[in-house]
A = this chain, B = another copy of it.
Amino acid sequence: MSCLPSRLYAIADPAQTGGRPLASVIDAMLAGGVTVLQLRVKDRPADEFLRLALAARERTSRQGCLFIVNDRVDIALAARADGVHLGQEDLPLEAARPLVGDKLIGVSTHSPEQAEEAERGGADYVGFGPMFPTRTKETGYASRGLSMLESVRRRVRIPIVAIGGVTADNAAQTWNRGADAAAMISHLTRGEDVTARVRQILDP
């Protein structure tokens, strides 16, 4: 069984709430049925990141939602998250694993080779992308597309989270071509009703 209990991997980011408080975005995601939530916080002091993580941990725990912290192993540990998600410039997997024990570790990858390396290194899942053109995040990578996703699928057994430009309209394509889950940030928060958007994706 996949370590990821949902086809939607929701990301909450205080810089992408559409003007709402982060807590209310998380509540709206949970109300829509999100069961995997990552907190992504960039360019804020660690004490603030931790406060947001503790609040997200409390909310996700109440709903039995898996909670993953982006980038920072120490904040994931301090907030008792279920896992940490590491980019290619974060702590490397082999340094993070002894610190987190059997918590989940996800790794951002941008090629089949990186995905294989993450699996060999003991990652519990990989993010793969950017799938489609996106304005959310300046990744410095061209979009990877569905064929490369299929290539990743052939090469790793661990769950794949397709990320980057994924929306309600194209999520099914990623699932059909090998992704276990589709990650979404701005697509969930850009509209009026976050809960309805989540429901639309989970039960199209």
Residues A77 and B99 in contact, CB atoms below 8 Å apart: yes
Nearest-CB distance from A137 to chain B (Å)? 16
Copies of the protein in its oligomer = 2
Which of B45, B88, B96 meets A78, CB within 8 Å?
B96
A90 lies within 8 A of chain B by Cβ: yes
Q: Give the residue name and chain of the B residue nearest to A51 (CB).
A: B92
Residues B91 and A78 in contact, CB atoms below 8 Å apart: yes
Q: Give the residue name and chain of the B residue nearest to A48 (CB).
A: B89
* Whole-angstrom CA separation of A45 from B71 in the bound complex: 10
Q: Give the residue name and chain of the B residue nearest to A77 (CB).
A: B99
A55 lies within 8 A of chain B by Cβ: no
A41 lies within 8 A of chain B by Cβ: no
Interface size for A (C-beta < 8 A) is 21
A179 lies within 8 A of chain B by Cβ: no
Residues B71 and A95 in contact, CB atoms below 8 Å apart: no
Residues A47 and B91 in contact, CB atoms below 8 Å apart: yes
A57 lies within 8 A of chain B by Cβ: no
* Whole-angstrom CA separation of A88 from B45 in the bound complex: 9
| Residues of chain B within 8 A of A72, CB atoms compared | 74
| Residues of chain B within 8 A of A95, CB atoms compared | 50, 78
Q: A residues bordering B, Cβ < 8 Å?
A: 45-48, 50, 71-75, 77-78, 88-92, 95-96, 98-99
Known contacts A46-B90, A50-B92, A78-B95; 4 further A-B pairs (Cβ under 8 A): A47-B92, A50-B95, A72-B74, A78-B96
